[in-house]
A and B are shown apart, each in its own frame.
Chain A
């Protein structure tokens, strides 16, 4: 005699854990967005967007002569809220783990997998402190004035 109750229970618990983690990650992203907007006097904002890369990525390059293929990935973008034209600047690549965590950020020749909220906040702080990020925010603040 067998039954699937235990598997169902595990599946449900995993779904709840994932939903809770995604909600927690969303609050971090919302705080980041609010801080960027208030710091730039509502000129610049941030959001996650899905991108498609047509260039050869590591895996396709490694697989010899198959040529480029479409690679979908998420990016944390900064964008100007005002100004004549809208510009987007990628702050980092963003990848959710199987349960929301670990969230992996890729930036400045570094890839960091964050297993929890504290680690994610630390990584985002490190990202924003880098001169590359400062340059992008500055650029968008200037464009917002045009």
Chain B
């Protein structure tokens, strides 16, 4: 969270969010050669936190031993870690959150599940965070089931509906949804069930819609290095897919209170792009970022 007096004479505060599917420990289970990847990921995370001044970073595919290692790296910093390894059916959550305790506090945490025909699925982990200035934001961190099984396509739709239903009073709520949805912005689950739109003026008017700034990231990056957040080497027409996104409620488009800074909704860092392109390592996702700003007149 940064504060600065801008040219307009008002105090501007900003809050930075990020998500990274680390690919370190799928399903929360350590890989055999985890130590090397853990050290590389730790360095990448530390750099990201410092350079991008991240206040809240969601991490996917991590294990308790990964968190123990990251904790040791952050021991003397203002960053704290909250983990989520809750069991869900035969699987479990495998995510964690690194947050700058000087700027945000986590007040509540609740896991959201969906169950059909006796099978349980992870909808997300819902956190209520408070900012330094006392605002409350509902941050929901999700990692939805993969595309490897076609039956998951329908499941993701149900997960999106369940997530929508869990947000009370959507028109008034400050909600940030981040994660690896295993779906691109245009897919049914996100666009028709979660109702995460690309159309800012429409979302301003229809407060039941979410705004997904990552619609605008479909296409080649300026550096020509990537065109998505997930590198899939066996992709038919593209090796990149945009599965990782940060989506916000319409309240952040009001220009009152906290507002989304559209140009700060970004994919990747140069360092992590190098890791993803190194086929000897396990990394296959780029992190995604966004930023909120509050103007105190």
CA separation between A63 and B174, bound complex, in Å?
Answer: 8
Q: Report yes or no: A112 in contact with B169, Cβ–Cβ below 8 A.
A: no
Nearest Cβ on chain A to B152's Cβ, whole angstroms: 15
On chain A, the residues within 8 Å of B114 by CB distance are 102, 112-113, 115
In chain A, positions 43-100 with a C-beta closer than 8 Å to chain B are 57-64, 97
Q: Report yes or no: A59 in contact with B172, Cβ–Cβ below 8 A.
A: yes
Interface 1/0 per residue, B107-151 and A, CB below 8 Å: 001111111111110010010100000011110000000000000
Chain B residues bordering chain A, tally (CB within 8 A):
31
Q: Report yes or no: A116 in contact with B172, Cβ–Cβ below 8 A.
A: no
- Asked if B257 is an interface residue, CB under 8 A from chain A, the answer is yes
Nearest Cβ on chain B to A32's Cβ, whole angstroms: 17
- Asked if B168 is an interface residue, CB under 8 A from chain A, the answer is yes
CA separation between A111 and B118, bound complex, in Å?
Answer: 16
Residue of B nearest to A104 (CB): B165
Question: With contacts defined as CB atoms under 8 Å apart, how many contacts are there between chain A and chain B in the complex?
Answer: 77
- Asked if A122 is an interface residue, CB under 8 A from chain B, the answer is yes
CA separation between A90 and B61, bound complex, in Å?
Answer: 35
A116 with B109: in contact, given A59-B168, A63-B169, A63-B173 (CB under 8 Å)? no
On chain B, the residues within 8 Å of A122 by CB distance are 115, 118, 120
Q: Which of A58, A64, A111, A118 contacts B113 (CB 8 A)?
A: A111
Chain A residues bordering chain B, tally (CB within 8 A):
24
Q: Report yes or no: B136 in contact with A61, Cβ–Cβ below 8 A.
A: yes
Q: Which of B162, B173, B257 contacts A113 (CB 8 A)?
A: B162
CA separation between A119 and B136, bound complex, in Å?
Answer: 33
Nearest Cβ on chain A to B134's Cβ, whole angstroms: 9
A62 with B138: in contact, given A102-B162, A112-B120 (CB under 8 Å)? yes
- Asked if B90 is an interface residue, CB under 8 A from chain A, the answer is no
CA separation between A141 and B165, bound complex, in Å?
Answer: 36
Q: What are 18 A-B contacts defined by CB distance under 8 Å?
A: A59-B169, A61-B136, A62-B138, A62-B174, A62-B175, A63-B172, A109-B110, A110-B111, A110-B113, A111-B166, A112-B120, A113-B114, A113-B123, A116-B116, A116-B117, A118-B118, A119-B117, A119-B120
